[in-house]
Amino acid sequence: MVVHKRKMGFIFALYVMYVLTPVHQAELPNATISDLSFKNMEFAMKLYTKISSYHDKNIFFSPMSISTSFAALLMASDGVTHEELLKGLKLEELEKADQPELIPNLFQLLHDNITQNGSLNLNQGMAMFMHRQFEVKKKFEDQMKKFFHADIKTVDFADTKESMRVINEYIKHKTEYKVTEVISSLDPLTQLMIITTIFFQGAWQRPFNPNVTERASFFIDNYNIVQVPMMLQEDKFFTMEDVSLGVKVLKLPYEKGVSMLIALPNRGIDYTVIDDEITAERFLSWVKKLQKEKLEVSMPKFKMEQSYSLHHILPDMGMVSIFGTSANLTKLSKDEFIKVSEVLHKAVIEVDEMGTTAAAVTTTGIIPYSLPRTFIINKPFFFFIYHEDTNCLLFMGRVIDPTNN
């Protein structure tokens, strides 16, 4: 028997949070995982708007990874810090005083729902690296294990070189060696580091044929044009047009219940006009209005690696005290003088035909009486990777220049 191997694109996101010093399963809640998915999406769109306001380059991040990290911090925080985190994450409506474990329980249920059939290659993990002499409250440590299945590890942050080696080795293992070095410097005063990783590897339901991929022009703007490998496929796709916003939308399904949704501005519509108009409500309206249509799709191959220092962005979203001396993380440790000093997020994506020569797709050409409409992605576009059953937004991004890794 001949076994055909298929090359799969991959996506990886990493979230790192530094904390420095000094300076019985809950019942199913009234709130549902659909409510949590929607709130996470609201947070994602707000964060995207903030990131896009800083620059006009490619953007890619995992809102799921970031919100999961802060859900862990919710369990550690109290007072004003807790309220700011709730509002910043758009989760205040889900908070119930008599159910303190409601939100982390929802995150656990959401994760289990996404990965329940075991066939989806989505690996999400969390680790807590503690300084040897730093005391974390047992309740917080137990909650990290219970709701986030976190790996709890002890290191000597004073030995920065060895700590970086241990942490980078952990990340390499979790990402199947797609990312080899993330931590390049470390403050010896670090007492606690929370890391979340999310790794997705998937194949299109119908791969593009690599034999027909060819070089084509991609128009960054009116003055800058680059040549890119453009994939081509003719098939029936789910699509719709948001006339009021001036974008066309296309769904490209992966196997196992995950899809990529692409939003392409119409001719004459600048992508910057779209930046501030993408909302959770709008995204869901696109998904609901999709209809199947025969299309000829042209899409660039691309690979991106993006890093963000979110501790410079999140205060603009109302999360202020956690980064200062007034941080209230008393549920994490007995030490009263701890704060989050740094929040790093790194995400990597590679999109290609999802097939090798051994698994090349062979098609028989039938000439239609009328040519199909074209969906040519040859200018800046937006993309969203989401779990269809829950509408959970796993990744989102903006491609301005597909040749800029």
* Phi, psi for residue 271 in degrees, rounded to 5: -60, -25
**Dihedral sign from CA coordinates of 211, 216, 221, 225:** positive
- In tens, the pLDDT along 324-358 reads 888 898 998 887 778 887 777 888 888 888 622 22
Helix H or strand E segment including 151: strand 151-155
Q: Residues 210-300+361-399: name the CATH superfamily.
A: Alpha-1-antitrypsin, domain 1 (2.30.39.10)
Q: Residue 102 above 70 pLDDT?
A: yes
- The model's pTM is 0.88
Grouping H, G, I as helix, E, B as strand and the rest as coil, residue 21 is coil
Q: What number is the average pLDDT over the span 150-156?
A: 88
- Confidence at residue 226, expressed as pLDDT on a 0 to 100 scale: 97
- In tens, the pLDDT along 205-223 reads 889 999 999 999 999 998 9
What is the overall mean pLDDT for the chain? 84
**Which pLDDT band, with edges at 50, 70 and 90, does 9 fall under?**
low
Burial class (CB in 10 A: 0-12, 13-18, 19+), 235: middle
**Where do the CATH 3.30.497.10 domains begin and end in the chain?**
9-202+304-349
- Confidence at residue 371, expressed as pLDDT on a 0 to 100 scale: 55
Calpha distance 129→28 (Å, rounded): 31
Q: Residue 7 above 60 pLDDT?
A: no
CATH 1.25.50.20 fits 9-202+304-349, yes or no: no
Q: Residue 360 above 60 pLDDT?
A: no
**Where do the CATH 2.30.39.10 domains begin and end in the chain?**
210-300+361-399
Q: Residue 301 above 80 pLDDT?
A: yes
- Confidence at residue 18, expressed as pLDDT on a 0 to 100 scale: 62
- In tens, the pLDDT along 170-188 reads 888 887 777 767 788 888 8
Angle between helices 63-76 and 79-88 (to 10 degrees): 160
Going by C-alpha positions, the residue among 176, 198, 173 that lies closest to residue 65 is 198
- Confidence at residue 260, expressed as pLDDT on a 0 to 100 scale: 94
CA–chain centroid gap for 24, Å, is: 31
**Which pLDDT band, with edges at 50, 70 and 90, does 372 fall under?**
low
Instruction: Spell out a b/e string for 367-384, using b for 16 or more CB atoms within 10 Å of the CB, else e.
Output: eeeeeeeebebbbbbbbb
Instruction: State both tokens at 386.
Output: 């989401």
CA distances from 304 to 48, 62, 346, 385 (A): 16, 13, 10, 15
**Which pLDDT band, with edges at 50, 70 and 90, does 250 fall under?**
very high
* Phi, psi for residue 90 in degrees, rounded to 5: 65, 30
- Confidence at residue 129, expressed as pLDDT on a 0 to 100 scale: 85
